[in-house]
């Protein structure tokens, strides 16, 4: 058989993702623990929007960094050391000033360096602003989750809604964790970007769940596959798509990050793209490794699905013992037991060829298409 790339390309990578769900839950749990510890221990590095303060942007041709800093100090401003950021400008942060003080300081600096009026940019933010942004973000988060939950329940079912939102929450916690641990600056733009992850995280999950729904339609009537296997198959089938869309969505954000962080070094673009990049990367991973396993774990509690899984497994065992004729009930993958992607066994490849990621027994398929060796 060809390499993993081709199998991925063809959609039968045959990765046993659902079967190893306890592993993923363990990893996720550990990561959440680390993230929460980091929230508690190191907190977040908040931008001036949350602490309050002023920021001045001075064209670099005004003079050297030292001159600019001195000019601010001479005018009575408490400043940090100016930083040269992209596009030949200095950024100077000062303690909080009133609008009028800021306007005055702006004029004084412009006069000092012989700049035209309006050449110095100012930005004044009070802690109230950061609070307001955060408050509206939290409100947005709550409304979004409520609306989406209703949508998902209507479009799919409540278990899928729960699983999708759990995976969403995981993304958010992990993204926040990365911010907490690395000390990236949190600004209102970061908060915005953070909210945008919501859409993307669910986007990926919806596509996977859509496939699961399709694969498991009427599954209890068939005796060949358990729900877990069908779900695992769906994940495998959409794996390439998940990776593809993840990549394709990350590419423009990467471009944004390159410009924002590389060229501009600061500002809206950098803050937005960084949080999007981190969050979307997590979204791709969690839509594959977390959303579906959670769904299967939830589904396993449903009596109907539980009974069905047992029926399938016991029948398979019977076939293995030779008590039942495989062909009798349209079963196509007789020796699937060991490799089953069901609950317990990891997909150790036994002699039996079909992999857990094989295609479903669809009525319309070409007989044996792509399956024969």
Which of positions 285-304 make contact with other proteins (CB under 8 A)?
none
Distance, CA of 15 to CA of 22 (rounded, Å): 15
Smaller CB separation from other proteins, 101 or 302: 101
Considering only residues 112 to 151 of the shown chain, the ones binding other proteins according to CB under 8 A are: 117-126, 128-129, 132-133, 136-137, 139-140, 143-144, 147-148, 151
Determine, following the binding rule CB under 8 A, whether residue 256 of this chain makes contact with other proteins.
Answer: yes
Of residues 11 and 334, the one with the C-beta less far from other proteins? 11
* Minimum gap (Å) between residue 205 Cβ and other proteins: 9
Residue with tokens 């977390």: 290
| φ, ψ of residue 45 in degrees (nearest 5) | -95, 105
Give the whole-angstrom CA distance, residue 97 versus residue 306: 65
The least CB distance from residue 140 to other proteins, in Å, is: 4
Strands 185-186, 45-46: pairing is: parallel
Rule CB under 8 A: say whether 3 interacts with other proteins. no
Output the smallest distance, CB 210 to other proteins, in A.
Answer: 5
Any contact of residue 254 with other proteins (CB under 8 A)? yes
Among 32, 36, 169, 264, interactor with other proteins by CB under 8 A? 264
Kindly write out the interface string for residues 83-102 of this chain, putting x where it contacts other proteins by CB under 8 A and - elsewhere: ---xx-x-------xxxxxx
Binding mask 174-213 for other proteins (x = CB under 8 A): --------------xx--x--xx-xxx-xx--xx--x---
Residues 269-288 that bind other proteins (CB under 8 A): 269, 272-273, 276, 280
Q: How many CB atoms are located within 10 Å of the residue 13 CB? A: 21
317 forms part of the interface with other proteins (CB under 8 A): no
Q: Kind and range of the H or E element at 94?
A: strand 89-94
Q: Judged by CB under 8 A, does residue 157 bind other proteins?
A: no
Burial class (CB in 10 A: 0-12, 13-18, 19+), 356: buried
Residue corresponding to tokens 């702006």: 106
Which tokens hold the place of 227? Answer: 């729900």
The single residue among 22, 42, 83, 104 that binds other proteins, judged by CB under 8 A, is: 104
Distances (CA, A) of 366 to 209, 225, 234, 362: 25, 20, 19, 9
- Does the protein bind other proteins through residue 10 (CB under 8 A)? yes
Q: Does 306 bind other proteins (CB under 8 A)?
A: no
When the beta carbons of 37 and 150 are compared against other proteins, the nearer one is 150
| Per-residue burial over 323-344, b = 16 or more CB atoms within 10 Å of its CB, e = otherwise | ebebeeeebbbbebbebbbbbe
> Whole-angstrom Cα distance, residue 164 to residue 202?
7
- Asked if 252 is part of the footprint of other proteins (rule: CB under 8 A), the reply reads yes
Spatial distance between the Cα atoms of 272 and 192, rounded to a whole number of angstroms: 7
């Amino acid at each position: 058989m060809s390499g993993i790339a081709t199998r991925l390309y063809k959609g039968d990578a045959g990765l046993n993702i659902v079967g190893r769900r306890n592993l993923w839950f363990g990893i996720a749990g550990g990561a959440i623990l680390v993230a929460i510890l980091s929230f508690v221990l190191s907190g977040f590095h908040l931008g001036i929007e949350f602490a309050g303060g002023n920021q001045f942007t001075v064209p670099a041709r005004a003079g050297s960094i030292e001159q600019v800093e001195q000019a601010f100090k001479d005018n009575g401003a408490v400043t940090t050391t100016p930083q040269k950021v992209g596009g030949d400008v200095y950024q100077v942060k000062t303690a909080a000033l009133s609008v009028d003080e800021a306007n005055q300081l702006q004029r004084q600096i412009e006069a000092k360096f012989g700049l035209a009026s309006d050449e110095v940019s100012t930005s004044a933010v009070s802690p109230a602003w950061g609070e307001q942004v955060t408050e509206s973000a939290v409100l947005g988060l709550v409304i979004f989750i409520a609306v989406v939950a209703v949508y998902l329940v209507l479009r799919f079912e409540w278990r899928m809604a729960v699983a999708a939102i759990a995976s969403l929450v995981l993304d958010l916690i992990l993204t926040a964790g990365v911010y907490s641990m690395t000390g990236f600056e949190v600004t209102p733009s970061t908060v915005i970007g953070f909210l945008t992850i919501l859409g993307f995280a669910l986007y990926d999950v919806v596509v996977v769940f859509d496939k699961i729904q399709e694969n498991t339609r009427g599954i209890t009537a068939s005796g060949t596959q358990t729900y877990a296997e069908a779900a695992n198959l769906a994940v495998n089938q959409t794996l390439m798509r998940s990776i593809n869309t993840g990549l394709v969505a990350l590419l423009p954000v990467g471009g944004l990050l390159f410009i924002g962080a590389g060229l501009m070094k600061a500002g809206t673009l950098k803050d937005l793209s960084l949080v999007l990049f981190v969050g979307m990367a997590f979204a791709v991973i969690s839509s594959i490794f977390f959303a579906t396993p959670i769904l299967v774990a939830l589904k396993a509690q449903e009596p109907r699905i539980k009974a069905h899984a047992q029926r399938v497994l016991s029948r398979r065992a019977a076939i293995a013992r030779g008590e039942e004729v495989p062909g009798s009930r349209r079963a196509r993958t007789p020796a699937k037991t060991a490799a089953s992607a069901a609950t317990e066994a990891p997909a150790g490849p036994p002699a039996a060829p079909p992999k857990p990621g094989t295609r479903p027994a669809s009525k319309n398929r070409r007989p044996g298409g792509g399956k024969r060796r």
